[in-house]
Amino acid sequence: MSPASLLTPAFFRLARTRSASLSRNIESLAPDLVHSLKQENNSVLSLSTDDNYIYSGSQSEHISVWDIRTYSLKTQLIGHTGSVLALEYAADKRWLFSSSGDSTVRVWCTTTLRPLYVINPYLETDSGDLFSMAWSSTYKTIYFGCQNTSIQWYSFPDSAPPLSSVSGTSTPTGAAKKVHKFFDSYPRSQRKPADIFASNAATPPVLDQELCAVVDVPPSNVIDSAHYGYVYCMALSPSIRDGSDDVPGSREEQLVTGSGDESIKVWRCTVDGLELLDTVDCTHGAVLSLVTRGDVLYAGCQDGYVKVWDLQTNTLIRTIIVQENVDILSLSMLHTDLYTFSANGQIQRYSETFDCTASWHGHNGIVLSSVVSRGQANDFTLITGGNDDTIRVWGVRPPDSEYGNDSHCSDVVDASGFKAPDDILIYALTKFVSIRSVSSSVELREDCRQAAIWLSKCLHQLGANSKPLYAGDTNQQNPIVFATFQGTQTEKRRPRILFYGHYDVISAPPEGWDTDPFHLTARNGFLYGRGVSDDKGPVLAVACAAAELLQQRMLGVDLIFLIEGEEETGSVGFEEMVRKHKDLIGEVDAILVSNSGWIACNAPSITYGLRGVVHCNVEIMSQCKDAHSGVDGGAVVEPMQDMIQLLATLSDKDRKVLIPGFYDDVRPRTEQETEAFKLIEAATNNTAESLAARWREPSLTVHNILGSGPRNPTVIPATVTAQVSLRIVPDQSLETVSSTLTRYIKQSFAELHSPNALKVSVDHTVDWWLGNLEHPYFKALESAIRDEWQVNPLRVREGGSIPCVPFLEKEFACPALHLPMGQSTDQAHLANEHLSLVNLRAGKSVVKRFLLAVADAESATAS
């Protein structure tokens, strides 16, 4: 079970959220499920990895290439005309080998992701399906096992010749295969001649437009009848795969092969080919998987046994009964840990002493393939594929690492420093999202308080001084989380940056969600869950950025956190709380906010403006009760008709606001602004005029009209209410617009000469905000975005309002900066809210760059 699946029943939920430890749950025996990838309608038959990609072969002819950091689909390698049965990575060449049911081995460049060679087995399709492969970097040789029971190999020279010189010619990679009378035959009852559609090729061969060299295995490189069954698996010893602790070149290289004939054969690898050293009998069904460590060989068998052999003495050391009569289709090693993968979807881990140290259900079906991958930070992942069309990535650690034997029970943060920063961010976000901090719900008020407590403790564990700040009545107002990451102590003054965010979220009815909104789910490069984009993900990204700099002794600023719990309900009481604790907060040089998304999916942005808002409630009341239109219609002055006429006086048919003087103070558009709109127009297909209407022009909206009484077409409501809002822009005065709106509505109603009564109230206001594009801090943030994404960010404004941005800017007399972290399609406030892993990690990196730049600038100024 992964941390993302630790959601408990409601009875236990509050007790669970009080635990804010960032350490793994020691009760769980399964490693963390880092990510899941979906190959629609395609079983994952084979897997391989390099530093950049996960390669997956499936029942279709194509090889999917997934980015190993973002888990997004990079491309597909197209060329095979049959199922991709095995993949093998040659790190020394940066080649990927693929073998298929089309009786070819193909070689791909993992740098360019283009085809290099097609290797035809001896006698071409007589070999049938090519089930297994192994690459020897010592002999620059690819070995492969065939359906016709042969083992074949092809050796490359140390310096490969130009493609055009190999085999004399170059031919298309999609050249049609020949028909084999056995492997491509139909059942005798059908009385049809053999053809390529009978078994191996489900679709006609496709001519690939790219050309690559075609080479043939010579007759000397074939061992016919190497086994008396299909050669399902093979492995080299010593192993050079990721996860192996073998020392390359420590002894002579051997090839081990397993077959459907229940036997294992050990071959000595030489420059001239293979020499048979020994044969052992497994007696427990076909040998379906092999893996080696040192002189020890593990063989996964058809009936659920793993046979453990000493290759030095060819002695059976141990038989592990994984699950009887359940095929073991794949094996992987991580140092001394053995991982077994069974046909019922079960994954198990065994120690060097053959004890089962973990067991979990990995796939909803058969686990067909697996591979261990070493990350850039020397961490490991276990990648598995199944016939449920899913690739799953599990976080694993070797038993002899500093983390201990069980990856699930190691501390994420401890006195020795950081242990995989991205893991901290995502794991913490898993816990944060699981707390239902819906500020609009009275029933979830305690959850909001628990979210504040959890976040405060989380920030404390990451290195900040932290505590929740409570109002006088804690039942009426959610606490604010206050924390400070103190920078490196120097004689010079450190800049003080205040980061504002919020831990509350809007409600998340399950309708429309593909997964539980309060259960963080990773899928195809995105994290799904309520609040993951707005605003829990950005809050933790900024916190982890500060924590990493702090651990690296590179935090040259004081970063202050003010994270409120009422943003989604109008920031009730926030201003009073800030003023009350202003001495505690101290002096502030800049305010950083991350509470919005880019204007487009692939257009990094920086926000420099927000519109303000005036929310007004209008109510018209009759002295009579609700009436019947058939009885009193025409005899009474109806409040609904008054309301319609009154609202009609607020704007004309062109949607121009008719309130006197409304446009008088609107700041004219500058040339710089016009040019910025043109850049955005070109990047997003939004017209400059539509952008201006949304961002920098004021507007009026009538949100609803509600009548009293039953909602049926015969009722004349005695009371009618309407909600109206005005969006305001620079340089309109919030107070002036509010008072003018109220006065104009009263005047317009008086001109109706209605006997009904009017009540007008301005219930909520937020001022507009416009950033200073020339301020050094703005330029530092803009440069940080540019350096991270390698493009100039679009300068954008927002049509909406964030109440605390203009307030904090005025209260602390310093500039505010707004860093959008998500994409335009994040679905914030909607079902299936999500955030890209790329954006989350890049957002953290942008914040680190910005904080470093601010500290460097301050240091340069001081000197």
Instruction: Name all domains of the chain by residue range, CATH numbers in brackets.
Output: 31-403 (2.130.10.10), 420-610+769-862 (3.40.630.10), 612-663+698-766 (3.30.70.360)
Q: How confident is the model at residue 47 (pLDDT cuts 50, 70, 90)?
A: very high
Looking at residue 408, its pLDDT comes to 32
Mean pLDDT, rounded, for 42-70:
94
Joined tokens for residue 258: 């397993």
Nearest by Cα to 221 from 290, 136, 163: 136
**130, pLDDT greater than 60:** yes
Q: How confident is the model at residue 194 (pLDDT cuts 50, 70, 90)?
A: low
Mean pLDDT, rounded, for 820-848:
95
Q: How confident is the model at residue 353 (pLDDT cuts 50, 70, 90)?
A: confident
**Cα 90 to the chain's mean position, in Å?**
28
Q: Which of 98-112, 169-183, 721-735 has the lowest mean pLDDT?
A: 169-183
Beta bridge partners of 279: 265
Does residue 411 carry a catalytic annotation?
no
Mean pLDDT, rounded, for 581-596:
96
506 or 191, higher pLDDT = 506
Q: Which of 162-166, 226-230, 493-497, 743-747 has the lowest mean pLDDT?
A: 162-166
Mean pLDDT, rounded, for 1-28:
39
**174, pLDDT greater than 50:** no
Q: How confident is the model at residue 406 (pLDDT cuts 50, 70, 90)?
A: very low
Nearest by Cα to 728 from 556, 599, 590, 612: 612
Mean pLDDT, rounded, for 744-755:
96
Looking at residue 862, its pLDDT comes to 63
**62, pLDDT greater than 80:** yes
Joined tokens for residue 356: 């089962």
Q: Are 64 and 55 in contact (CB under 8 A)?
A: yes
Q: How confident is the model at residue 451 (pLDDT cuts 50, 70, 90)?
A: very high
**329, pLDDT greater than 50:** yes
Nearest by Cα to 389 from 366, 359, 360, 361: 366
Whether the ω angle into residue 238 lies within 30 degrees of 0, i.e. cis, is: yes
Beta strands in 1-136 (DSSP E): 32-38, 44-49, 53-58, 63-67, 73-77, 84-90, 95-100, 105-109, 114-120, 130-136
Nearest by Cα to 30 from 518, 361, 463, 293: 361
Looking at residue 162, its pLDDT comes to 45
Joined tokens for residue 745: 């509505």
**254, pLDDT greater than 80:** yes
User: Of all residues in the chain, what percent carry a pLDDT higher than 90?
Assistant: 65
704 phi-psi bin (left φ>0, alpha ψ -120 to 50, beta other):
beta
Q: How confident is the model at residue 354 (pLDDT cuts 50, 70, 90)?
A: confident
Cα–Cα distance for residue pair 831/509, rounded to 1 Å: 8
Q: Are 267 and 274 in contact (CB under 8 A)?
A: yes
343 or 26, higher pLDDT = 343
Joined tokens for residue 835: 């955030």
Q: How confident is the model at residue 863 (pLDDT cuts 50, 70, 90)?
A: low
Cα–Cα distance for residue pair 669/688, rounded to 1 Å: 12
Looking at residue 401, its pLDDT comes to 52
Looking at residue 425, its pLDDT comes to 92
Looking at residue 4, its pLDDT comes to 33
Looking at residue 660, its pLDDT comes to 95
Cα–Cα distance for residue pair 464/550, rounded to 1 Å: 9
Cα–Cα distance for residue pair 518/286, rounded to 1 Å: 45
Catalytically annotated residue among 567, 642, 782, 833: 567
- Between the two ends of the chain, the Cα-to-Cα distance in Å is 54
Rg (CA), the chain: 34
Joined tokens for residue 574: 């926030």
Q: How confident is the model at residue 429 (pLDDT cuts 50, 70, 90)?
A: very high
Model confidence pTM above 0.75: yes
Looking at residue 860, its pLDDT comes to 66
Q: Which of 204-213, 475-484, 771-780 has the lowest mean pLDDT?
A: 204-213
Q: How confident is the model at residue 179 (pLDDT cuts 50, 70, 90)?
A: low
Cα–Cα distance for residue pair 863/859, rounded to 1 Å: 6
Catalytically annotated residue among 50, 246, 261, 504: 504
Does residue 567 carry a catalytic annotation?
yes
Mean pLDDT, rounded, for 590-611:
92
Mean pLDDT, rounded, for 816-828:
94
Q: Are 543 and 845 in contact (CB under 8 A)?
A: no
Instruction: Give residue-wise pLDDT tens across range 132-157.
Output: 999 999 999 999 999 999 999 999 98
Q: What is the SS3 assignment for 793?
A: coil
